[in-house]
Amino acid sequence: MVTNITNLSRSGLYDWMLQRLTAVVLGAYSVFLLGYLVINPGLQFGQWAELFDETWMRIFTLLALISILAHAWIGMWTITTDYFNDRAFGRKSVLIRFPLQIVCFIALFSYVIWGVQILWGL
Amino acid sequence: MKVSIYRYNPETDKKPYMMDFDVAIPEGRDLMVLDVLNLIKEQDPTLVYRRSCREGVCGSDGLSIGGTNGLACITPLSEAVRGNKLVIRPLPGLPVIRDLVVDMSLFYKQYEKIKPYLINDTPAPAIERLQSPEDREKLDGLYECILCACCSTACPSFWWNPDKFVGPSGLLQAYRFLADSRDTATEERLAELDDPFSVFRCRGIMNCVNVCPKGLNPTRAIGHIRQMLFKSAT
């Protein structure tokens, strides 16, 4: 068992499953938005705002935002531990890797909060 | 024919370099790459490489041949030569000891980690532990691995994290014991693999399947391990 503390769940299996479930959510959301834009050519702001006034659309969007948080965190964590590890940057690689992981987390967390502000017009 | 070989002697060379040899290939015969190496060794006895059985059974002469990992003894020149030139390098990703010989310690450490032996705490029977032909069949495509390291050293995930990711070869063996009806340590074995590195660094790019000289499929075995982990956890 290889131990670590910075990945999402400490279990490779849980991360793996979560990445796939969130991929399905993101895929469904992308297809829905794309389909909506195709079905409604010449879309006006009023109709667009109405769509996002619906509770189900807000839930769907928030779910997609949280999915991005989990999905991208698992992916970015994997990338940082692949390319910014001791083999690439020597024994002090953690000084590069950990700040990068923090930047990723702050960016992703900000997307969720920002999204909530937009959705509820706060 | 021109043969370009990776040379490095840590006692005399500051840096590794490629050395070119001209080798006379007998007409009308498709030599194996190992035969060519032997011809070169007659020219230059200082060239170092590993070989033993010369028929693809021992797994000693895994090399990067024309950019693809394979066993020198069973790779014919007709497959290996590109643009009338043969390029031979050591297996990528492992430290080079000298010329074409690499230090396989990390590879063996990962193999050791998966406990490559039967674990069974039930009392030993008088003669032997029996297995039905169906259960024995489950080990086909797994037990044939000769630990030549062609697959693991073709795997980028193993290049980046050879100390943490078990690698295709080790995982094929891990599944060989998970699938064995005579082994009773399934849960313990799975618990050891359930971290984000050991199994889950596999991104399924199938380089391992592409290079395995025995035609085995580590990616499929890794998929089976994931399924077992998933079943035991949900």
Q: How many CB atoms lie within 10 A of CB A9?
A: 14
B29 pLDDT higher than 80: yes
What is the structure's pLDDT at B84?
A: 87
Top residue of A7, A13, A16 to mutate, by most chain B CBs within 10 Å, is A13
| Mean of pLDDT over chain B | 95
Top residue of B94, B106, B114, B197 to mutate, by most chain A CBs within 10 Å, is B197
SS3 (DSSP) at A8 = coil
B195·A88 Cβ contact <8 A: no
List the single residue in B157, B162, B197 with the smallest CB-CB distance to A2.
B197
What is the structure's pLDDT at A8?
A: 82
**CATH number of the structural domain A12-119:** 1.20.1300.10
| Chain B environment of A83 (Cβ under 8 Å) | 160
Query: CB of B170 within 8 A of CB of B202?
Result: no
| Chain B environment of A88 (Cβ under 8 Å) | 160
Helices (H), A54-93: 55-83, 86-89
DSSP-derived pairing of the beta strands B96-98 and B85-89: unpaired
A11·B195 Cβ contact <8 A: yes
CA of B166: how far to CAs of A6, B175, B223, in Å?
20, 12, 14
Q: What ipTM goes with this model?
A: 0.84
As a three-state string, the secondary structure of chain B is CEEEEEECCCCCCCCCEEEEEECCCCCCCCCEHHHHHHHHHHHCCCCCCCCCCCCCCCCCCEEEECCEEEEHHHCEHHHHCECCEEEEECCCCCCEEECCEECCHHHHHHHHHCCCCCCCCCCCCCCCCCCCHHHHHCCCCCCCCCCCCCCHHHCHHHHHCCCCCCHHHHHHHHHHHHCCCCCCCHHHHHHHHCCCCCCCCCCCCCHHHHHCCCCCCHHHHHHHHHHHHHHHHC
Split at pLDDT 50, 70, 90, the class of B28 is confident
Q: Where are the domains of chain A?
A: 12-119
What value does the mean pLDDT take over residues B189-214? 95
Please give, rounded to a whole number of angstroms, the shortest distance from the CA of B221 to a CA of chain A.
16
How many Å apart are CA A19 and CA A31, to the nearest integer? 18
Please give, rounded to a whole number of angstroms, the shortest distance from the CA of A55 to a CA of chain B.
31
CA of B208: how far to CAs of A16, A79, B148, B198, B217, in Å?
21, 21, 12, 16, 7
Q: What is the pLDDT of residues B129-150, one digit of tens each?
A: 999 999 999 999 999 999 999 9
Split at pLDDT 50, 70, 90, the class of A49 is very high
How many Å apart are CA A75 and CA A67, to the nearest integer? 12
**Whose CA is closest to B107, among B69, B52, B53, B55?**
B69
Query: CB of B85 within 8 A of CB of B33?
Result: no
As a three-state string, the secondary structure of B123-169 is CCCCCCCCCCHHHHHCCCCCCCCCCCCCCHHHCHHHHHCCCCCCHHH
B194·A85 Cβ contact <8 A: no
Q: What pTM, to 2 d.p., does this model score?
A: 0.90
For chains A and B, CB pairs below 8 A equal 55
| Chain B environment of A11 (Cβ under 8 Å) | 194-196
Token pair of A94 as six digits: 């953690």
Please give, rounded to a whole number of angstroms, the shortest distance from the CA of A57 to a CA of chain B.
30
What is the structure's pLDDT at A121?
A: 83
A1·B230 Cβ contact <8 A: no
B82 pLDDT higher than 90: no
| Chain B environment of A10 (Cβ under 8 Å) | 195-196
B196·A1 Cβ contact <8 A: no
Query: CB of B20 within 8 A of CB of B4?
Result: yes
B196·A4 Cβ contact <8 A: yes
